[in-house]
């Protein structure tokens, strides 16, 4: 089913197996510097090529928490203003580099009602240009139900 961004889907309209609209990011060094300033994460491996090479990487690497933020954006963009993000788990299994396209993907893996609240569990991940998921995770979000409105 097609779900438009920034419109909250009703819980009853979401099915296990639904895919979230992909969120595609084109990170560059400038974005990493902006993120460093905004997050106050000044670990040099994210902006100093010499430091990154000393640590064994071919290029500066994307902040893990920036990847988390993109995955959060993927989910909050889909659940819209009336949904609520409750849990976000992310694991930085592999590093990602500026210059590479980063595609955030998500799939609904569970939908249930708990205490009258519609909950959806979503498998999320950041896909690199080789098609591998460098950053797997999961999210739990609440959605409005028709019975509650």
Partner 1 sequence: MTTSVSPDDTVISEELRSFIDLESNAVTYEIERHAVERFACAIGDTNPFYTNKPYPEPFAHILDGGSKYRYNEPVRVGDQITVVRKITDLFEKDGRMGTMLFKISEISYTNQEGRLVATQTTTTITYGTGAKDSGVGNH
Q: Which residues of this chain interact with partner 1, rule CB under 8 A?
A: 40-45, 51, 54-56, 63-65, 68, 84-92, 95, 137
Least CB distance from residue 53 to partner 1, whole Å? 11
**Phi, psi dihedrals of residue 75, rounded to the nearest 5°:** -75, -45
Least CB distance from residue 85 to partner 1, whole Å? 6
Least CB distance from residue 42 to partner 1, whole Å? 5
Least CB distance from residue 94 to partner 1, whole Å? 11
Q: Are the C-beta atoms of 14 and 146 separated by less than 8 Å?
A: no
**Residue where the block lists tokens 């080789």:** 130
Q: For partner 1, which is the closer residue by CB, 12 or 76?
A: 76
Q: For partner 1, which is the closer residue by CB, 57 or 107?
A: 57
**Other CB atoms within 10 A of residue 29 CB:** 15
Q: For partner 1, which is the closer residue by CB, 12 or 44?
A: 44
Q: Which three-class secondary structure state does DSSP give residue 76?
A: helix
Q: DSSP assignment, residue 14?
A: -
d(CA 100, CA 112): 36
Least CB distance from residue 19 to partner 1, whole Å? 23
Q: For partner 1, which is the closer residue by CB, 56 or 131?
A: 56
Q: Are the C-beta atoms of 47 and 62 separated by less than 8 Å?
A: no
d(CA 78, CA 22): 10
């Amino acid at each position: 089913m097609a779900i438009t961004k920034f419109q909250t889907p009703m819980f009853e309209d979401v099915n296990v197996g639904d895919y979230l609209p992909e969120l595609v990011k084109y990170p560059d060094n400038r974005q990493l510097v902006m993120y460093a300033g905004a997050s106050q994460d000044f670990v040099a491996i994210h902006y100093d090529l010499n430091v990154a090479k000393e640590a064994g990487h071919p290029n500066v690497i994307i902040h893990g928490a920036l990847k988390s933020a993109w995955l959060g954006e993927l989910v909050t963009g889909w659940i819209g203003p009336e949904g609520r993000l409750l849990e976000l788990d992310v694991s930085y299994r592999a590093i990602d580099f500026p210059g590479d396209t980063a595609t955030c993907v998500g799939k609904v893996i569970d939908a249930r009602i708990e205490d009258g609240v519609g909950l959806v569990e979503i498998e999320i991940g950041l896909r690199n240009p080789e098609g591998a998921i460098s950053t797997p995770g999961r999210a739990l979000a609440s959605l409005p139900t028709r019975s509650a409105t």
